[in-house]
Structure 1
């Protein structure tokens, strides 16, 4: 059996793969149910919402056909926001998350953005450790509307924008 192709590809805004990405996200984020408060926004995510993300300048990238990993990218004024990153259970531990983060860094550099940013919930210590290993640093805390305590961490990773990197 050969290794699957791990090259990221852009899901078109009208692509059927949006349905596959949504299904992967729902399954991959289930472990958070009952662990995080408020619940994950993935419960409110729809294909139409994913299309709107694409139409407004965001991108959804995937790995695999059929897909086994995905992430959302959203350009901000000073960073590229990486959200909704998921890797199928049986594919974890093979460097796929690193491949997606590395690809996000390439996209940030192409867009002239000096950093990647992402948010992870306070309760998900395993995510903090994983993203720390990938070069992210916690830079602030945030709270969802109606919460008087921190509910998430903002993590940031600087990107080398020089042409010789």
Structure 2
């Protein structure tokens, strides 16, 4: 439970979901995960330059099923097993690359994203991988600054693997400018 004081000084109590567990996604949840990503993207409506992302494409159900089969698509589920958020990743070279992390708009701010990231890091370590990587927006508070607080660091252009260079180039071609994006890395066994 988190207690905050709104502007009028009266206590506001925010209750998060109870009994949250991180588990492998199921194939029958693929469409639900697409809906969660669409819900999570609504946060971008608040930032004029990125509001178009609130109606943009989401990761496909087919991709969710493929990553679930690979054992790298996890959900944060409530006590009744209902997914509230997910993290999709893939093993690429010696890294676990986070493709997408989304938490339902109504369940943001309760630490579910952090739990999902911690699970991915533990999974990468258990697989004997070197690092966890991702690409994200530099200045949006729930993107780059969030990952930095969890131990990720921004990679400079000369540090990009060929895979990350290709990914950043594809994102740039899709309208996600390199001026606003960055690649990040967290060494697992450092």
Q: TM-score range by the shorter chain?
A: 0.7 to 0.9
- Greater alpha carbon shift after TM alignment, 45-54 vs 79-88: 45-54
Shift of 1:105: 0.8
- Given the alignment of the two structures, is residue 19 of structure 1 paired with residue 37 of structure 2, yes or no? no
Q: Secondary structure of the residue that 1:120 maps to in structure 2?
A: strand
Hey, what does 2:115 align to over in structure 1? 99
Hey, what does 1:159 align to over in structure 2? 188
Shift of 1:98: 1.5
Shift of 1:129: 1.1
On the 8 A contact 1:5/1:63 being kept in 2, the answer is no
CA distance in 2, matches of 1:16, 1:81: 23
- Greater alpha carbon shift after TM alignment, 36-45 vs 95-104: 36-45
Instruction: Give the superposed CA RMSD.
Output: 3.0
Normalization by structure 2: what TM-score?
0.69
> How big is each residue's C-alpha offset from its partner over 1:45-82, in whole Å with a ceiling of 9 and x where there is no partner?
32123223445x36210011211110101111121111
Hey, what does 2:9 align to over in structure 1? none
Shift of 1:41: 10
Structure having the higher Rg: 2
CA distance in 2, matches of 1:52, 1:22: 14
On the 8 A contact 1:37/1:151 being kept in 2, the answer is no
Shift of 1:83: 2.4
Q: Give runs of ≥4 in structure 1 deviating > 4 Å.
A: 37-42, 146-149
CA distance in 2, matches of 1:2, 1:29: 20
CA distance in 1, matches of 2:156, 2:71: 23
Taking a change above 3 Å as real, the CA distance of residues 149 and 83 of structure 1, as seen in their structure-2 partners, is: closer
Shift of 1:22: 0.8
The aligned length equals: 158
Normalization by structure 1: what TM-score?
0.78
Aligned with 1:128 (options 109, 129, 144) = 144
Shift of 1:123: 5.1
Higher helix share: 2
CA distance in 2, matches of 1:77, 1:53: 16
> How big is each residue's C-alpha offset from its partner over 1:73-116, in whole Å with a ceiling of 9 and x where there is no partner?
11111211112111223322222222111100111011111211
Structure 2 gaps of 5+ residues are: 1-14, 158-167
- Given the alignment of the two structures, is residue 48 of structure 1 paired with residue 62 of structure 2, yes or no? yes
